[in-house]
Structure 1
Amino acid sequence: MRGMSELMRLREVWGHRPLLGAGVSVLLQDESGRVLLQRRGDDGLWGTPGGALEPGEDVLTAARRELLEETGLRCPNLRLLPPQEGLVSGPEMYHRYPNGHEIYYAGMQSHGTLPASALADAQPDDSGETLALDWFALDDLPTLSGNINRANLNVLRTRAGLPPLPLEPTPPPPPPGNYLSELRRVAGQRRLPLCVPVVAILVTDKLGRLLLLRRGDTGLWTLPGGVLEPGESFEACARRELFGETGLSAARLEPLHLYAGAEYRFTYPHGDVIDNVSVLYRAQETGGDLHLQAGESPGAAWFALDSLPGETELGGPLIRAMVAHVASPRAQVRATALPQRDVLLR
């Protein structure tokens, strides 16, 4: 439980105020469609297995680890839900633990199946997180712990044609600020003991060209995007960052993929290290006039998909993976930018 001890040390200086928790929930059903729930050790109420991602951990690995720790079970067909269905975030995902610590959950749901008889082999670890385990029918659920568990069960209830469970009222989120900078100020330059939820947005024009921004700190190309504020949803953050960095808005934002893992770890020029859990969106039907945020992006350009910047010109492995997601299979990645008239510079 090294990650937990490091998080508690952060709490010693951060206090009770809200943190953003990037995590994963595990939705397991038996052959009758019943869902596996755990009775939690902190409040005695029921919820789905799951928890926070460890820095450098991918989401499915975290789901398997949390399931094993909290139930002693392994699920061979455990899979992440598609982003259009499985993303969870926003002001309703607030939770206050019995010790007073506050958190806003932002993450992904996973789903798998096990026979009901598998419960006979359940052996939760000795952490005290799990007091009991049982299968429950979706129309006969026990008292659930917090809105995150209601949101989890609503995915399964919707699939079964049942009405969603109402979410409990939550306090208003803190006023927008600069969550990551404040977290860094408190934590220092050591690697943060929690993953940071972020978004990035693919914007293409009518010619199918991709918009990239020039980073002010490294001079490398990147996508519009940024870090969630506590209580902000992935989509709300994407809209805020898109407009703030480019002046553009989108009629629709389509979630495409979630990225997490050690291969996407990013080190800033000043030495800060961050483990992101990043959702990639595609902007649909964009409007507005392109202009850049003062002091952040010194330039921007529209790139044809067969003329994208080379890997060394892109801002890290995460951006390279995201740009590759939109590039056509036959695109030859090379360092040829568009003519000057297609480049917006300050």
Structure 2
Amino acid sequence: MAGMSYLSELRAVWGSAPLVSVGVSVLLQDEAGRVLLQQRGDDGLWGVLGGGLEPGETFLEAAHRELREETGLSCPDLSLMDLREGLVSGPEFYHRYPNGHEIYLVGLRTQGTLPAAALAHAVPDDSGETLALAWFALDDLPPLNSNINRVSMNVLRARVGLPPLPLLPVPDAPPTGNHLLALRRLVGPRPLFAPGANVLVTDEAGCLLLLKHGGTGRWTLPGGSLEPGESLEQCAARELHEETGLSAAHLEPLRLYAGADYRFTYPHGDVIDNVSVLYRAHGVAGTLALPAEEIHGAAWFAPGALPPEADLSGPLIRAMVREWQKGRSVAAPASG
């Protein structure tokens, strides 16, 4: 690949300390159900295909690119996994590379099928990242290089009734701070991935809770950026409580938003590429309490009486609110 990757550019100023890495895994199976694995050039162990997103990419675009780079192959039926199987986040997705670089992977799995014979035509690129490619039965796997790969194999193993592979021990997650702000101080206004979560909260009348953001003066949903070692669901619960004082008995993942359509530029010029899971809150409890320095107001809106889109905080929130409105406007707001 020409030039430095997004993660390499950050490493140049951040060093080896943990970074949140936004990535995609590519799980390909043949007609016998075997999975295609890659022997890695950095440690000689095996893992699934995939890699980090570049700014502006969707997960599916990145999956096709990584597959092409690592195998020279294409997969016509490559698709995103359902969020219940496909989401990747949390302390178990820590990895320390042989060069000492540490990451917490956040992202999504993709899946597809290829005939076993396709492997004869594989031509990996010349980066040295791929030492070998081979098909493996799910009950006869080679030495895997990280929990990232073990958990992916466990998703496929569960489908056919095989027990899960044990996970490797991981260090305690770093204390919650403001990872994105710390990065921003080093890199300036350039685009940064902002993996995180937003939450749909509705009242008994079926109205949606929106918050007036202090920094932009626009309406937004409860939510924010993920910290290293935090799962997306934990991020959603933390941000919901910090910004509203509310808690939810259950958070249901609805959709993952990523790609150039959801880039946001703050009034002061900082640019983020949002990678956000939209959750629906169930069993909401507590009393609305706003952090005055960050949130300057809150209101409940019926599907047909939402603020104008220009008053919503950027393309991500507009898309999320549209999706909620579409689902709610087909009938009168529910009561109870």
Taking structure 2 as the reference length, what is the TM-score of the superposition? 0.96
How much has 1:71 moved relative to structure 2? 0.8
Cα contact 1:253–1:281 (8 A) shared by 2: yes
1:146 maps to: 146
CA deviation map 1:100-135 (0-9, x unaligned): 010000110001111101101111111111110000
Q: Which residue of 1 aligns with 2:299?
A: 301
Q: How far apart are the structure 2 equivalents of 1:277 and 1:52?
A: 13
Is the CA contact 1:88–1:105 (under 8 Å) kept in the aligned structure 2?
yes
Cα distance in 2 for partners of 1:6, 1:243 equals 32
2:49 alignment partner AA: P
> 1:81-230 to 2 correspondence within 5 Å?
81-192=81-192, 195-230=193-228
Q: Provide the rounded CA distance (Å) in 2 between the counterparts of 1:197 and 1:7.
A: 14
Q: Which residue of 2 aligns with 1:66?
A: 66
- C-alpha offsets along residues 249-289 of structure 1, whole Å, 9 cap, x if unaligned? 11100110011111110001110011111111111111111
Is the partner of 1:240 in helix, strand or coil? helix
* Over 6 Å off, 4+ runs: none
Residues 1:55 and 2:38 are matched in the alignment: no
Q: Aligned AA for 1:202?
A: L
Alignment equivalent of 1:277, drawn from 253, 275, 287: 275
Give, in whole Å, the separation in 2 of the partners of 1:262 and 1:188: 20
CA contact (8 A) 1:264 1:275 kept: yes
- Residues in 1 aligned to 2:158 and 2:145: alpha-carbon distance in whole angstroms: 19
State the distance in 1 between where 2:2 and 2:104 align: 22
Structure 1 unaligned runs (5+)? 333-346
Aligned to 2:333: none
Q: CA deviation at 1:329?
A: 5.6
**1:99 Cα deviation after fit:** 0.7
For normalisation by structure 1, the TM-score amounts to: 0.93
Contact 2:303–2:328 (CA<8 Å) still a contact in 1?
no
Q: Supply the distance in 1 between the matched residues of 2:2 and 2:197 (Cα, whole angstroms).
A: 27
Residues paired across the two proteins, number = 330
Distance in 2 (CA, whole Å) between partners of 1:290 and 1:30 is 52
AA at the equivalent of 1:240: R
The reply on whether 1:252 has 2:261 as its aligned counterpart is: no
Moved more, 7-16 or 312-321: 7-16
Q: 1:300 to 1:29 in 2, by over 3 A?
A: same
Residues 166, 125 of structure 1: alpha-carbon distance in 2 compared, 3 angstrom cutoff: same
CA contact (8 A) 2:38 2:132 kept: yes
Structure 1 residue matching 2:289: 3-state secondary structure: coil
Q: CA deviation at 1:248?
A: 0.6
**Aligned pair 1:232/2:245, yes or no?**
no
The residue type paired with residue 310 of structure 1 is P
Amino acid across the alignment from 2:306: L
Shift in Å at residue 12 of structure 1?
2.4
Asked whether 1:327 is paired with 2:325, we answer yes
Q: Secondary structure at the match of 1:328?
A: helix
Shift of 1:191: 2.5
Percent identity reads: 68
Aligned to 1:75: 75
The amino acid that maps onto 1:274 is: I
Return the offset for 1:294. 2.5
2:26/2:49 contact within 8 Å kept: yes
Contact 2:49 2:66 in 1 (8 A): yes
Deviations for 1:161-193, whole angstroms, at most 9, x for unmatched residues? 11111110011111111101000011122233x
Task: Give the deviation of 1:9 after TM superposition.
Answer: 3.5
The one-letter amino acid paired with 1:214 is K
Query: What residue identity is the alignment partner of 1:251?
Result: A
Q: Is the 8 A contact 1:3 1:54 kept in 2?
A: no
Aligned positions of 1:328-343 closer than 5 A: 328=326, 331=329
In the alignment, residue 255 of structure 1 is paired with which amino acid?
P
Deviation readout 1:32-63 (Å, 9 max, x if unpaired):
00000000111110000001111010111111
User: 1:218-273: per-residue Cα shift (whole Å, max 9, x none)?
Assistant: 21110000100000000011110001100111110011001111111000111001
SS of equivalent residue, structure 1 residue 275: strand
Cα deviation, residue 10, structure 1: 2.4
Q: Which amino acid aligns with 1:29?
A: Q
